[in-house]
Amino acid sequence: SEAADQLGLMHYMEVMRLITVLELVAPTPDENVTVTDTEFNNVPVRLYLPRRAPGGLRRAMLYFHGGGWCLGDAGMKGYDHLARRISNELNAVVVSVNYRLAPQHRFPVPFEDVYSVTKFFLQSKVLSQYGVDPARVCVAGDSAGGNLAAAVAQELLEDPEVKTKLKAQILLYPALQALDLDLPSYRDNAHKPLLSRSLMIRFWSEYLTPDPALREAMASNSHVPAEAGPLLQLVNWSRLLPAGLREGHAYAAPGPGPARAYPGLLDPRAAPLLASEARLRRLPPAYILTCEHDVLRDEAVMYAGRLRAAGVPVTHHHAKDAFHGAMMFVQWPFELAVGHRLFNSFMDWLNENL
């Protein structure tokens, strides 16, 4: 990807997307679930409907895939498998959203796509059409999708047109801020699979701006505009992280950057960790998965702590033996015991709490 990009043959993310294409599977129904590709509010979605009799109103999940806002597809083998299992085992309607991707569609377009689908689905007539209980709907996502799920949950609170309240938000190793890219987890896991520090910086910069100067500034953690000063307390890991994760690390505040912020850098729709406590206080219960060997570990730990402090019920599952994306490793040829364990814990929580 790097070589093709530097030679001007193909954009870095276009090369990366070839991996996505290799993983795509058709929307094929099986004996348990009907699967169709359709659109909600002009946004492509893959819709999973259980075949068995509902026995009352069903649960529902809106799922947003990961991939750094630049990669991924609801039709990838791993996401198709996840949605089928949830639909079948929980007798739930699953809407897996194919939002538009950066760099062709930067912030706020991916957010606006998933928000548009969520708002459409939460209408009484649509919930009724699919036999969904309005009191049992959640948003969920992994990585960049976890970012989008957290942002959608927050934004719904401010929308007077939405009457349905979410039952839960499920955030699987989410990206939640880009103000400080020198957290202990970024230091410890800079070169770990599947998400290096440099790749995460590339994702953030492609999501926010075409200006390569941001990526360069982020690499040295010197990209914070003066107006962001008051927000730094919300990402101050020396105060917000538990002692075990701070051990062996000395805090250094992010360095000053451009005079004005890039769009999205300080916006909770792109960086949900920057939301005020007044906003967090009204959020639905959260399930947050973090992995020890993941650059995104610490911001999700801090978000769990801030949600708890605001009075939101939080189930925080921290996997000490896992890396970013581990929960998707449940199918041959990329099958790991840790993937099955994390997936089963996730399913157990959904069954009890959704």
Give the tens place of pLDDT for each residue, 158-178: 999 999 999 999 999 999 999
Beta bridge partners of 317: 289
pTM of the entire structure? 0.96
Consecutive 10-residue runs of the chain (354 residues): their mean pLDDT? Answer: 62 79 94 98 98 92 97 96 97 98 96 98 98 98 98 97 97 98 98 94 96 94 93 97 96 89 94 98 98 98 98 98 97 95 98 98
Q: Is the dihedral of CA 331, 336, 340, 343 positive or negative?
A: negative
The pLDDT value given to residue 219: 96
pLDDT tens string 295-332: 999 999 999 999 999 999 999 999 999 999 999 999 99
Q: Which candidate in 87, 96, 143, 185 is catalytic?
A: 143
How many C-beta neighbours within 10 Å does residue 239 have?
Answer: 12
Amino acid letter, residue 52: R
Question: Is 238 among the residues known to form the active site?
Answer: no
Q: Which candidate in 182, 188, 294, 298 is catalytic?
A: 294
Question: Is 340 among the residues known to form the active site?
Answer: no
Question: Whole-angstrom Cα distance, residue 85 to residue 48?
Answer: 10
Question: Is 5 among the residues known to form the active site?
Answer: no
Beta bridge partners of 46: 37, 96
Among 324, 269, 313, 321, which residue's Cα sits nearest to residue 287?
A: 313
Which domains, from first to last, does the chain contain?
A: 1-176+273-353 (3.40.50.1820)
Q: Is the dihedral of CA 259, 265, 268, 272 positive or negative?
A: negative
Q: Which candidate in 65, 223, 293, 324 is catalytic?
A: 324
